[in-house]
Structure 1
């Protein structure tokens, strides 16, 4: 299964009735013969960084939750809505049947999105709301990647997502919704509009360079999500990101940059709003070693179900990699990308920022961003094709055809 990369004091809501898999994705999680008697790597990780869940599978949350946040994207939504039970029936059929008519109704009242696009948004929201009882923080919903080069369309997309939340769950606290937006120039300007004009929380995702981090912090994003591995590794089992060790150090450097900006803000104004301070959420992880290297180096780490399984099953005592825990915080990335003064100037000049981003890491940052956008666009289109098929099937069933 494709699992790409993912301080609140609100009480965790009780579990509501919802569609859920009758056969869990990871059956080994549900056959524990005895309780854990010693601290696991997951316990150790939770003591060093906030652990978020990179899935929309509520069964995983019931085993390992509660979590702070839940992260999602088009790939995760696609994986979830296509799951079937032991009889071969779609697990989320009732959600699908609910949202497609809503998408048709909404389509008649606006021209900004198609029925398929609206249904894709509603499916993501519906799945996230089903996961929310296992969280005490944000549900993260990613905007349509096809609009990542349009500030206006991305803002409208985010506003629609918030409206979908209120439509599907009128009593849900929308301050717990965070909109994930690809970290293009246009996307980060959309974050600025949403944070500053609409008080909508945002996460800058698909981050590979300090140029993106600096602009996200300036825009007021609640989170930046650097990818430790480029997205291709989750699709091609034969491919390894040769730059992942440096990317882990970059995550630590990004967190230090966020902390430095926060300290400067506090010194200038005499106070600091912790809820609006940008935090790093490391993402796109493929191994326990990668996760533990980031422990304590960043505020948040979003972890996929397979890695959660391995982290909980591994005792912290005697783990061979103990000496590497938190290693991503040990050394800063030096050189032009870490130049705070240069970054401060870049974020005020679009053309210079674009040029610097193009040149970052010898062009690798821009390449990886483009790759991630392309993959998520493919996933978005797959969801839309499924919606068209399900919609046609439903109409035939109603008409008796």
Structure 2
């Protein structure tokens, strides 16, 4: 996997040098009393032979710090009187955090893309101190041009970051059992694993209860570790084996929030991740309404699931574009689709239009993309979680990306508002063979990962007691 730092270095080689850049020897020649730097100057200088030693030192520093590649999405809606800086600072702290390395800032009014970088740096000063953020700023303008020249309303600006999270480098996704399992086996995180095991043993109970408590604690410790270094919210998953038990999901979610509280993390920085079963959606409704706990509904494949989530008033849904496409490719005779005919694109488009037409506040975050065509076809969606590889392809493409979806266009859709009680939900969802199969498959896979994680912890906790 290409690191964020190496991607920065590679992309920088193809960026244009600003015309007004002073020659390298200007400082020596004119001997000014003071000087200034800005992203354009730094970016241009970094491409000059005279400064390759500094660039090499910066890249080495970034690689030494490590980090993960993750996504942070934020949409700002500043009033005409509000400054871009104020809007970004006020909204970034509320942005859902998804592991990846790209920040998507979707502005509701036009303003120079370069100001995004400045506002982000002011909002998150520790990134400016410990990352190559300054060098990254230049990419904002380049990607802004790709997206349509001068920034316009609902144009997304992308900013690459490389926060240092030790050696934890998942490729994508939020915290889930498989990622935690992988990280828990790394030497750098044995202290966290040990703390979780000690917590489970301290609470006592059966081996199963101790293992479950240690598992919950480990999820929270990793989430808290991430939140120390990245503003935003981290998604923490409720055990998929509880997907058909509303009360159990609510109880587990509240327990996780209490564990976060114990380590000094507010519930406002957490998104509880729930499977989009009927029971999961109702759990999300109760958590949002009665406990003020924000939810991220995952494994969402059908229109019925999306409607039920909207009626439940959950914070965010994550419809999986690519997984829908995968099913159709595997189960029909058609192996390729034009972007606008892609089944995953059509599904998310319908969901987005329905939400906007009828005024639902739930955020639609398209995820799991297989190609750039899907991304372009969904430009304008609330959030799009895009992998570094596909975003790199968009850079190479060079074509302008105009919003395809918009709240205004959604008003003209022929969708009619529907209400789903449990019976209607189950029938409508059951009518979608793809959604039924993908939901059950996703739950099984998440559950299997949870079992593997618990077995690993149990072996560490009880191997001596069991005579091993």
TM-score (norm. length: structure 1): 0.68
Q: 2:429 and 2:390 mapped to 1: Cα distance?
A: 36
Q: 1:308 and 1:51 mapped to 2: Cα distance?
A: 11
Q: Structure 1 residue 295 and structure 2 residue 396: aligned?
A: no
Contact 2:325-2:344 within 8 A present in 1 as well: no
Q: Aligned pair in 2 of structure 1 residues 291, 126: CA closer, same or farther (>3 Å)?
A: farther
Q: Structure 1 residue 58 and structure 2 residue 165: aligned?
A: yes
* Residue in structure 2 matched with residue 220 of structure 1 by the alignment: 313
Q: 1:52 and 1:252 mapped to 2: Cα distance?
A: 25
Deviation at 1:81, TM superposition (A): 2.3
Contact 1:203-1:225 within 8 A present in 2 as well: yes
Deviation at 1:283, TM superposition (A): 1.7
Q: Structure 1 residue 364 and structure 2 residue 434: aligned?
A: yes
Q: Aligned pair in 2 of structure 1 residues 92, 325: CA closer, same or farther (>3 Å)?
A: farther
- Listed as ranges, the matches of 1:262-277 within 5 Å are 262=359, 277=361
Q: 2:144 and 2:457 mapped to 1: Cα distance?
A: 37
Q: 1:260 and 1:356 mapped to 2: Cα distance?
A: 21
* Residue in structure 1 matched with residue 283 of structure 2 by the alignment: 190
Contact 1:178-1:200 within 8 A present in 2 as well: yes
Between the two structures, name the one with larger relative contact order (CA 8 Å, sep ≥ 6). 1
Contact 1:51-1:301 within 8 A present in 2 as well: no
Deviations 1:113-140 (A, max 9, x none): 7222222222222112222244433211
Q: Structure 1 residue 385 and structure 2 residue 455: aligned?
A: yes
* Residue in structure 2 matched with residue 142 of structure 1 by the alignment: 237
Q: Structure 1 residue 166 and structure 2 residue 249: aligned?
A: no
* Of 395, 398, 416, the match for 1:340: 416
* Residue in structure 1 matched with residue 198 of structure 2 by the alignment: 101
* Residue in structure 2 matched with residue 20 of structure 1 by the alignment: none
Unaligned regions of 5+ residues in structure 2, if any? 2-68, 77-90, 94-122, 328-333
Contact 1:217-1:278 within 8 A present in 2 as well: yes
Q: 1:51 and 1:106 mapped to 2: Cα distance?
A: 45
CA RMSD of aligned residues (A): 4.5
| Matched residues, number | 332
Unaligned regions of 5+ residues in structure 1, if any? 16-28, 85-89, 235-239, 264-276
Q: 2:389 and 2:233 mapped to 1: Cα distance?
A: 22
Contact 1:207-1:213 within 8 A present in 2 as well: yes
Q: Could you say what secondary structure the match of 1:281 adopts?
A: strand
Q: 2:369 and 2:204 mapped to 1: Cα distance?
A: 37
* Residue in structure 1 matched with residue 249 of structure 2 by the alignment: 154
**Larger gyration radius, structure 1 or structure 2:** 2
Q: Any runs of at least 4 consecutive aligned residues in structure 1 with deviations exceeding 4 A, and if so which?
A: 3-7, 11-15, 34-47, 49-53, 59-62, 231-234, 240-244, 323-332
TM-score (norm. length: structure 2): 0.59
* Residue in structure 1 matched with residue 297 of structure 2 by the alignment: 204
Q: Could you say what secondary structure the match of 1:229 adopts?
A: helix
* Of 169, 176, 179, the match for 1:76: 179
Q: Aligned pair in 2 of structure 1 residues 381, 189: CA closer, same or farther (>3 Å)?
A: same
Q: Aligned pair in 2 of structure 1 residues 301, 153: CA closer, same or farther (>3 Å)?
A: same
* Residue in structure 2 matched with residue 22 of structure 1 by the alignment: none
Deviation at 1:106, TM superposition (A): 3.4
Contact 1:285-1:291 within 8 A present in 2 as well: yes
